[in-house]
Amino acid sequence: MLAVSEHATFEEAGQALLPFALQPTNWVSTGLGQSLDEALVPAAYQRQVGGVRICAAVRVSPRLEAELQVLFRGPGLTLLKAAELLERFLRLHLPLSPNTEWRVVTDGRKGVRFSRRWASTGLQA
């Protein structure tokens, strides 16, 4: 079982996890069409606040497209509640702005994944 760091608030979790996840040496490469899955990434990319698990990383696709993905998973988590948690999680490093586009995907296991393009164009190899 992974030893995931626990925090008292979502702001504190974001302050601890985001600088690590946003550092290019910590970006995660995935296969075509794959998304970030907390079961597949090391504990360093995850945090726990109460009953909510958070997983955050910049995912680099085989086409060298970089996107920030933040996944929230917990009992009774709704889309609206997850959006509030995202705002709190990002508050100190990446405050949400009105014209920032985020994609949202929910799954049957009570998880909500938010993603947005991190680099404006594909990376160059």
Residues contacting 100, CB < 8 A, separation 6+: 116
Contact 68/56 with Cβ under 8 angstroms?
yes
CB 115 within 8 A of CB 69: yes
Question: Considering the entire predicted model, what is its pTM?
Answer: 0.85
Tell me the two tokens of residue 113: 């994944």
* Nearest CA among 24, 33, 29, 57 for reference residue 43: 57
Domain ranges of the chain: 5-117
> Yes or no: is domain 5-117 CATH 3.40.1720?
yes
Q: In whole angstroms, give the CA distance from residue 73 to residue 55.
A: 9
Q: Quick check: 102 pLDDT over 90?
A: no
- Band (pLDDT 50/70/90 cuts) for residue 120 is low
The per-residue pLDDT for range 63-84, each reduced to its tens digit, is 888 889 999 999 889 999 999 9
